[in-house]
Amino acid sequence: MKITLGHSPDPDDAFMFYGIASGQVTEEGLEFEQVLEDIETLNRRALEESLDVTAVSIHAYAYLSDRYALLPHGASFGDGYGPLVVSKRGLAAADLAGATIAVPGTLTSAFLAMRLFQPSFTPLIVPFDRIPQAVLDGEADAGVLIHEGQLTFASSGLHKVVDLGVWWKEDTGGLPLPLGGNAIRRALGPEMVAKVSAVLRKSIAFGLARRTEALEYAEKFGRGLDRGLADRFVDMYVNDLTLDYGERGREAVRRFLARGREAGLITVEPRVEFAGEPSPAA
């Protein structure tokens, strides 16, 4: 059976799926077709249920839970770090009220975190890799950086205004900021969901165990990151929480989506359910 597997063309996702991409992690009867798109495109494709398994923003998952379950592995958390708000000139956090801020899409977790931090701003939707230039060109007063931009912004002449991961951890008493997860179509059925889930977890564990070769592969997706920065980026977003959310990670997801709902930023009642685990309503 062919399984479509959507993920971002970024070092952390590439690292996670190296085992499958290299053919060293396999499962009889399964063939994976990788689909590489930016995270907002993957979010929109998941709304159409056009991918069997896909990376999605935790924010977007609130609108997908009727069709997809979260896999208990494959998550990206910002544990005391996360999306960065940057500006061309030095701004204080208070200056963001009423500002035009470049964001990588309205379904991204970065957008929801930004809204929770500062509800009053005008969003400018910009592809994530163009946000630094949009800020430098004056198209926006500030921008929310995800992926490798979090490590390279200073070399572009940008200044940090606030780290949303730091803010969230302090505001929640120590929880990591849930950014992305892997979701799987419920329509595949429990047996296939369990089978696919096991292979994907094995691929993550394989990358962690064979870190050097997995990094060599992931480095190709770094858009200019050298080995040291690629290693640092992968270390930030592929770790123990990636192998399993744990109760701390699960609580972070519940809290993040509940806060969004309470603030009126999420228009549905979020249902957080992990594949292979009892429904919250059970």
For the question of residue 147 being annotated catalytic, the response is yes
Distance CA 266, CA 253 (A): 14
Distance CA 46, CA 27 (A): 24
User: What is the distance of C-alpha 59 from the center of its chain?
Assistant: 9
Element (H, E) at 16: helix 11-16
- Residue 194 gets the label, from left (phi > 0), alpha (psi -120 to 50) or beta, of alpha
Query: For the chain, give me the number of helices (H) and strands (E)?
Result: 13, 11
Q: Which of 7, 59, 147, 159 is catalytic?
A: 147
Which residue type, as a one-letter code, is found at position 256?
F
Distance CA 156, CA 133 (A): 9
Strands (E), the chain: 2-7, 31-36, 53-57, 68-70, 76-78, 84-87, 100-103, 122-125, 142-145, 159-163, 177-185
Give me 125's structure tokens.
């939707």
Tell me the catalytic residues: 147
